[in-house]
């Protein structure tokens, strides 16, 4: 188990959200929005293929430990 802030998937999606906010404030996208969604989907899939550790506080963590959010030792 790992803490949420150690998750590559979480940080990738935080970055994507920040990019979306900046583009909205500028009034126009940097590249086609459909292409952005495709790129994010591919990156998410790649990151998930590279990782296999659940973050604490998730249903997956509860299934492994039997306790919500518990860390397995």
Q: What is the DSSP string of 7-34?
A: -HHHHHHHHHHHHHHHHHHHTS-SS-HH
Q: What is the pLDDT of residues 12-69, one digit of tens each?
A: 999 999 999 999 999 998 999 999 999 999 999 999 898 888 878 777 666 766 665 5
Q: What is the pLDDT of residue 69?
A: 55
pTM over 0.85: no
Separation of alpha carbons 23 and 35, rounded Å = 14
- Residues sharing a CB contact under 8 Å with residue 41, sequence separation 6 or more, in sequence order: none
Q: What is the pLDDT of residue 61?
A: 67
Q: What is the pLDDT of residue 56?
A: 80
């Amino acid at each position: 188990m790992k803490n949420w802030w150690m998750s590559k998937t979480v940080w990738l999606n935080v970055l994507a959200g920040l990019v979306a906010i900046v583009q909205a404030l500028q009034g126009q996208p940097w590249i086609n929005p459909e292409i952005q969604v495709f790129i994010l989907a591919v990156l998410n899939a790649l990151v998930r293929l590279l990782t296999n550790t659940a973050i604490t506080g998730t249903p997956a963590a509860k299934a492994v430990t039997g306790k919500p959010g518990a860390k397995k030792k």
